[in-house]
A and B are shown apart, each in its own frame.
Chain A
Amino acid sequence: MLTVDTIAVKRGSKLALQNIAFTLAAGKTLAVVGESGAGKSTLIAAILGFLKPIQGQIAWSGQPVRSCRPALVMQEPRAAFNPVLPLRRSVLEPVVAAGQSVPEARIKRLCDGLEIKEEILERRPNEVSIGQAQRVGILRALIAAPPLVLFDEPLSALDAVTQKHTARLIRDLQAEEGFAALIVTHDLGYAVAHSDEIAVLRAGQIEEISTPQQFVTAPKAGYCQALRDAAIALGGLEAAA
């Protein structure tokens, strides 16, 4: 279980996160939503240990998070890979690092699940479509069966059809693999349709943590309600709810 215990994080001299507290159990999905600059990416950086909290603690089952070798799926699918190397080498890196043999059967199973043709792994990032690159990014994230996967705006670079498809693939794989997923997104429709809980982040603080149902039907008055109403007005929530 991921435990974020009342942390505060500084970026330079500015306090980027404060009083952030939540837990995330295996097999569950927490969507962190909020506008740009709310501190969503800072939260990911802090969980991965790239930024050290000045207050509070982050742990995975009582241990430092890095001990569980968490995976990250990045926002820009092609930029998430070393541009010079074939995708296969990047995908296998976490496995090779652990000194394990290449899990061909697992690659095949994950490729099937993600609807990737194995041949594209021989290509470099700039030789595949953005949608394919993102699915290969998910493949890399899952290859070593991590218990925790962080998704940083995983769908924002994709077109609408690919977004929907990729969101379903992530959910199906989570059901199979049982990893805990923390998804940072500004897409409320996606958060409502694919998470167990939604945390609304605003100016570095959590406004509300609720179930998708609560968020849609009875959000906390003020910012959360305004956010929900805006999403409804834009038509992003009807489809999801």
Chain B
Amino acid sequence: MSKTLFGLLLRTLVVLAGTAFLTFALLWNAPGDPAAAIAMARFDALLSQEVIDQVREEVGLNTSFWPAFWSWLGPLLCFDFGNSAVTGRPVWPDLWGAMTYTFPLAFAGLMIGLGVALPLAIFAAKRPGRLSDRIAVAIASLGAAIPAYWLGLLLILLFAVQLGWLPAMGARTPAHAILPALTLGLGVAASLTRIIRSGILEARGQAFLPAIQRRGVPEAAIGRDHIAPHAAIPVITVFGLELAFLLEGAVLVEVIFGRPGLGTFLVSAIAARDFPQVQAVVLLTALVFVVSNLIIDLLYRLIDPRIGERDA
């Protein structure tokens, strides 16, 4: 087990190091003059070459790639994301502020998604092929087909404009988070419903089940011991992928609902070529991914010990 954990951690570190390098390399080689973009963001005006060169020197863009990379990576290893090239403020407090908006929103979206998908999928899988199943699958397909920006606007129209129940824009009160969370959550629910449904149906077709189904083993025990763990494997996999959707979706949803968060943070950082800020967001996202994948890998092993043994 410790060997497995070590392997997984090593893989995590390699992914993080690769992400750090690639992001830096892509930003460094992006077309256009980063110093001009930073100067433009700082002073919000067209500037002379002299000022641009001054900015270039100040933020360390006047060296070659490798010295610039190492001078960024060094402090990063001590968890120092550096200072914003535009505002000069440390990146971390601003990033943390953005996270406090985005992460709860993504979490609420995930919970809504699961809360809708689980009962709907169980309901659908009860009588596969029947009307109830078809309706549930149709709802899920419809949900998957509607893009988040369209769903968001529909929800605003209905709940904010027509009914006046909920606020449409901003992030002042918890009520402001309801529509964005619903927008995210219903998108997640759509794909999760289909995966959980097919997971349950596949698990119910396991070859060994007829050998115990007439032995007096209660249906609930069969569901808990044999069907749920088997159905959980694909669900966990998709759950991990949904995290990607949620972070992407959160960026979009934040724009639609005029909320602060990682979305606005990242968009303004990229526009200004604010290297430290962009790097910080990308690394944070990568960290979320690798940690969630690490957890998923460990969950696989918990549900099916054979997975760990195959890798050992």
User: Which residues of A come within 8 Å of B, CB atoms?
Assistant: 45, 48-50, 65-66, 69-74, 76, 79-85, 90, 93-94, 97-98, 124, 126, 137, 140-141, 144, 146
Contact = CB atoms under 8 A, between A and B. Distances in A.
Given A71-B214, A79-B207, 8 more contacts: A48-B210, A48-B213, A49-B214, A50-B210, A94-B212, A94-B217, A98-B216, A124-B306
Interface of B: 206-208, 210-218, 221, 225-226, 229, 303-306
Nearest to A45: B210
Given A74-B208, A79-B207, A82-B226, A144 B305 contact: no
Contacts of B207: 74, 76, 79-80
A85 B44 CA distance: 65
Nearest to A79: B207
B302 to A, nearest CB: 10
A126 B306 CA distance: 9
A143 to B, nearest CB: 9
B217 A72 contact: no
B208 A97 contact: no
A84 B307 CA distance: 10
A84 B210 contact: no
Contacts of A83: 304, 306
Given A93-B217, A97-B218, A84 B303 contact: yes
A83 B229 CA distance: 12
Nearest to B217: A97
Contacts of B226: 82
Contacts of B229: 84
B236 to A, nearest CB: 14
Nearest to A50: B210
Contact of B214 (A48, A76, A93, A98): A48
The 9 A-B pairs with the shortest beta carbon distances in the complex, nearest first, are A94-B215, A97-B217, A79-B207, A69-B216, A97-B216, A72-B211, A66-B214, A84-B304, A80-B208
Nearest to A140: B211
Contacts of B304: 83-84
Contacts of A84: 229, 303-306
Residue picked from A70, A73, A83, A137, most chain B C-beta under 10 Å: A83
A97 B221 contact: yes
Nearest to A99: B216
Nearest to A89: B225
Given A80-B208, A81-B208, A72 B214 contact: yes
A74 B217 contact: no
Residue picked from B211, B229, B305, most chain A C-beta under 10 Å: B211
Nearest to A148: B214
Contacts of A66: 214
A80 B207 CA distance: 6
Nearest to B207: A79
Nearest to A65: B214
Nearest to A125: B208
B214 A70 contact: yes
A137 B210 CA distance: 12
A20 B218 CA distance: 31
Contacts of B216: 69, 94, 97-98, 144
A218 to B, nearest CB: 37
Contacts of B208: 74, 79-82, 90
Contacts of A70: 214
B215 A144 contact: yes
A40 to B, nearest CB: 14
B306 A97 contact: no
B225 A82 contact: yes
Contacts of B215: 69, 71, 93-94, 97, 144, 146
Given A84-B229, A84-B304, A72 B218 contact: no
Contacts of A73: 211
Contacts of A76: 207
7 contacts: A50-B210, A74-B207, A79-B207, A79-B208, A80-B207, A94-B216, A146-B215
A49 B214 CA distance: 8
Nearest to B212: A93
B203 to A, nearest CB: 11
